[in-house]
Structure 1
């Protein structure tokens, strides 16, 4: 009777968490000026573990395209164990730690590993202002991102959006306006996403699930893939959309769900892949800014709106439907999405 009582309201609280992050950022303009606006860095490196690494990928992609500067994302462990393989020696580097709790051992070890390395500066983003991460580095803080459930949902959305808003502050008013427009759509998207996922799962079961995304949506595809694994114990995989055609598509057969996070940048190419998977017998779900004649072949389409916005600005709008898909799958299986087996909210080494 108590299954999902933590996760469900946290998925549903994304609009409020994003709005709170937007307001909080107004009080952290000095952080933006000190770190993101400083063009003297040769490389900006976003790091995290698990979900935090996946959002780091979207953050880095947004940084590159909106600011035209070099940025990468790495798992935290790559920095403290394989730093020279991840980042070339001698470069002036800004290291941005990403962690919901601010207590993940790997991100703390990564920050500690560079504290005496010349030309490295550290900062971060978290949901906990008194965490180990916040004690080691100046951090953006998503005030309503805090969660009781093990799985990341509103924390992921609010932290990703907050970092994008920080990047947009440097990029200029046009990008801030795009994010404000996306934020205004979030409440309606979350509401519609719940009913959409519930209906989808109530009508059918899938033997396999594949998530596909490109560009700033690749990290999101990895994240929603993880959500289904964590919450419902379903084996899933994620790939770059066009990369999926190079071998992995051999696993597609009837009973396979292929969910494509459709960008506007590569829309025609991504939809060709989706149509191909449909021909192999897959049930095709598209998450897209707007449905059209070119999406009519799909078995299910969820529209986010905001088709006039950049792909990056719409990024967090793609999450609710697929987070709810994980939640509803767990509930249908009779497992508890609040407390996944073998998992803890904070991973300690």
Structure 2
């Protein structure tokens, strides 16, 4: 019998290797970048996925808009499968990029099949399994070291997000952004190690009744993913919001025993820290994940430096993930749940 969570723990710790493998693989898939991201035929790029794959699709779309300057958005796969007219008005040319770790999620496969049959639609994808149904259906980027045994997504999500961001930077011809991502790749191993120790200590010292994750821009999708990691692994109810949106009603749930975890951007740093201070005044235990500590973060109950100071929020995005994943992992263990075998869940969702 294996120890509870051993696969999840191993895969969280494998993120640096997965990022490196994705980076090297992209060198072999330059044609994909030219055919899809650099194709002026498409008026809009729509990233689709389900669950964690949808949340990383939000970050991919945000990065595409910021770096490539193209119209891009993200939807759950089911929206494009069942409500494509509401999501994408006719008379435009679309590229739908399916996002799926396994490449077998029914909703994304059915959505791509349906869209492929429509006029003015082209399809592509990104996955970790090159022989999957989605990879046979659509031309896919492949994160070769993203394959996982655990049900929950960890290194698969970080490596696919990173790989798509690198593809977008290449499509934009931005050597400065590629240099930022190369730095992230080198930083990732240290960030994982530091996050392990930081979150382990935090969970041991401080029990929480509620969990709230806040993020904006390219980090909003990752705040949703952080929320899901807690739910999947530990079954604790949690929520995620855009940082400033949280002040418009939802903040009423904050009280002593509430963890508020802020994925701090540099672009909106002062605004977001003002929200965090307010939540602390209501009794929340505030954790700030940031590129760099400074006097403005000293009020927080705990601060974790993810690294990547001086680079764009988009490029730094995957460095927030290890701490968020370890939060789910160590919270699960503290509640005697097995992160490798979450109840009611399977690695591939089929309908």
Q: TM-score range by the shorter chain?
A: over 0.9
> Which residue, 326, 329, 333 being the options, matches 1:327?
329
Structure 2 CA distance, aligned partners of 1:316 and 1:344? 24
RMSD: 0.6
- The 5 A counterparts of 1:1-349 are 2-171=3-172, 172-349=174-351
Q: Distance in 2 between matches of 1:174 and 1:226?
A: 33
Deviations 1:213-268 (A, max 9, x none): 00000000000110000001110000000000000000000000000000000000
| Cα drift, residue 39 of structure 1 | 2.2
User: Matched residues in 2 for 1:136 and 1:314: separation?
Assistant: 32
Q: Structure 1 residue 40: deviation in Å?
A: 2.3
The normalised TM-score by structure 2 is: 0.99
**Whole-Å separation in 2 of the counterparts to 1:39 and 1:12:** 39
For residues 299 and 115 of structure 1, the distance between their equivalents in structure 2, rounded to whole angstroms, comes to 50
Superposed CA deviations along residues 139-182 of structure 1, whole A, max 9, x for unmatched, are 00000000000000000000000000000101221111110011
Per-residue CA deviation, residues 36-92 of structure 1 (Å, 9 max, x unaligned), is 111221110000000000000000000000011100000000011000100111110
CA distance in 2, matches of 1:141, 1:30: 13
Range 176-185 or range 58-67, more displaced: 176-185
Higher mean C-alpha deviation, range 170-179 or range 16-25 = 170-179
| Offset from partner CA, 1:172-197 (integer Å, 9 cap, x none) | 21111110011111010000000001
SS of the residue corresponding to residue 6 of structure 2 reads coil
Q: Distance in 2 between matches of 1:250 and 1:304?
A: 29
Structure 1 CA distance for aligned equivalents of residues 41 and 114 of structure 2: 22
C-alpha distance in 1, partners of 2:154/2:106? 21
In 2, Cα distance between equivalents of 1:226 and 1:114: 28
For 2:206 and 2:80, how far apart are their aligned partners in 1? 43
What secondary structure sits across from 1:114 in the alignment? helix
Hey, what's the Cα distance between the residues in 1 that align with 2:325 and 2:308?
A: 20
Superposition TM-score, scaled by structure 1 size: 0.99
Unaligned runs of at least 5 residues, structure 1: none
Give the superposition deviation at 1:118: 1.0
Secondary structure, aligned partner of 1:314: helix
Runs of 4+ in 1 over 6 A off after TM superposition: none
Give the CA deviation at 1:210: 0.1
Cα deviation, residue 204, structure 1: 1.2
SS at match of 2:124: strand
